[in-house]
């Protein structure tokens, strides 16, 4: 059972006070000149109410048959694991029989919801002073994508990058350079590419669009922005070019660098 958003969400003035404290802290520490004093938390699943700040999506919305869930898993002192979310389900590529206009199916995703406004306007993340997006995950090895949505001129634009897991089945920290995200629209690469509006990030999420039928499971503990490359667990960081599912409008597949 989920607690209702109304009961758990902060009011307008409480959110505004939090934003004022955050902005004051940045000014007091001169972070605009010296750079950030530490990582920027974006979202974590340490508490069950964190699920109320996310939205689950799948091809069921267009009549498809994939199944997706986002569940909260409590912390385990025995395994030294914090509370986290379990994104899981089953991908089906079966097309809805009475929707001839639907030619592709087989996807599932989740994202953070748009944060409520404050006295200072829309609540957006400014990650301009950070080099990496960091995620603490445990993957099954399938081809997930990280999706970032900004205040783009085209509302349906996404910035995407493959989520490379080096140790499927184990907890690990993955870093992705913000500059390596690719602008897409409805699954296709947009040309010409434009730089991400790093001062106006609306939401972050993960999607599975490989259209491979079968079960999937991805656990996520937290997501943050950082400049510290040492947060990666792996000491060996090979540079490998891999082929992803994203294509441009000429049908050419996009190669990703595993960094």
Instruction: Give the pLDDT of residue 191.
Output: 87
Instruction: Give the pLDDT of residue 257.
Output: 53
Share of the chain above pLDDT 90, in %: 59
From CA 242, how far away is CA 255, in angstroms rounded?
A: 5
Contacts of 21 (CB under 8 A, 6+ apart): none
Contacts of 180 (CB under 8 A, 6+ apart): 161, 257, 259
Give residue 14's pLDDT band: very low, low, confident or very high (50, 70, 90).
Answer: low
Instruction: Give the pLDDT of residue 241.
Output: 44
Instruction: Give the pLDDT of residue 153.
Output: 78
Residue 133 CB-half CA count within 13 A: 28
Instruction: Give the pLDDT of residue 36.
Output: 73
Give residue 94's pLDDT band: very low, low, confident or very high (50, 70, 90).
Answer: very high
Contact 72, 44 (CB under 8 A): no
Instruction: Give the pLDDT of residue 101.
Output: 92
From CA 93, how far away is CA 214, in angstroms rounded?
A: 10
Instruction: Give the pLDDT of residue 256.
Output: 52
Alpha helices in the chain (DSSP H): 5-8, 12-28, 31-34
Place of tokens 């379990």: 86
Contact 239, 257 (CB under 8 A): yes
Residue 83 CB-half CA count within 13 A: 12
What's the angle, vertex CA 210, arms to CA 204 and CA 213, rounded to 5? 120
Q: Provide the token pair at 197.
A: 């509006």
Give residue 154's pLDDT band: very low, low, confident or very high (50, 70, 90).
Answer: confident
For residue range 33-66, list pLDDT tens digits in order: 556 768 999 999 999 999 999 999 999 999 999 9
Contact 192, 250 (CB under 8 A): no
Give residue 193's pLDDT band: very low, low, confident or very high (50, 70, 90).
Answer: confident
Residue 88 CB-half CA count within 13 A: 12
Examine the pLDDT at 247 and tell me if it is beyond 50. yes
Residue 20 CB-half CA count within 13 A: 8
Average pLDDT over every residue of 134-162: 94
Instruction: Give the pLDDT of residue 31.
Output: 54
For residue range 211-242, list pLDDT tens digits in order: 999 999 999 999 999 999 888 765 434 344 45
Instruction: Give the pLDDT of residue 167.
Output: 95
Instruction: Give the pLDDT of residue 240.
Output: 42
Question: pTM to 2 decimals?
Answer: 0.78
DSSP 252: P
Give residue 246's pLDDT band: very low, low, confident or very high (50, 70, 90).
Answer: low
Instruction: Give the pLDDT of residue 236.
Output: 35
Examine the pLDDT at 150 and tell me if it is beyond 50. yes
Average pLDDT over every residue of 168-192: 93
Three-state SS at 47: coil
């Amino acid at each position: 059972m989920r607690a209702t958003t109304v009961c758990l969400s902060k009011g307008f003035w409480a959110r505004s006070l939090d934003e004022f404290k955050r902005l004051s802290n940045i000014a007091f520490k001169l972070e605009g000149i010296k750079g950030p004093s530490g990582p920027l938390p974006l979202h974590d699943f340490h508490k069950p109410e964190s699920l109320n700040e996310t939205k689950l999506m799948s091809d069921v919305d267009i009549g498809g048959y994939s199944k997706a869930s986002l569940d909260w898993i409590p912390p385990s002192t025995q395994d030294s694991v914090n509370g986290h979310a379990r994104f899981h389900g089953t991908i089906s590529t079966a097309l809805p029989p009475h929707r001839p206009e639907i030619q592709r199916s087989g996807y599932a995703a989740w994202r953070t919801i748009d944060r409520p406004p404050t006295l200072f306007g829309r609540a957006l993340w400014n990650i301009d002073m950070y080099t990496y997006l960091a995620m603490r995950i445990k993957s099954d090895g399938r081809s997930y994508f990280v999706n970032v949505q900004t205040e783009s001129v085209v509302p349906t634009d996404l910035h995407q990058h493959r989520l490379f897991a080096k140790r499927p089945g184990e907890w690990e920290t993955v870093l992705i350079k913000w500059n390596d995200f690719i602008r897409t629209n409805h699954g296709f690469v947009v040309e010409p590419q434009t730089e991400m509006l790093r001062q106006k990030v609306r939401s972050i999420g993960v999607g599975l669009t490989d259209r491979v039928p079968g079960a999937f499971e991805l656990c996520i503990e937290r997501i943050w922005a950082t400049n510290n490359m040492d947060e990666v667990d792996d000491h060996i960081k090979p540079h490998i070019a891999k082929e992803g599912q994203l294509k441009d409008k000429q049908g050419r597949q996009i190669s990703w660098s595993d960094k």
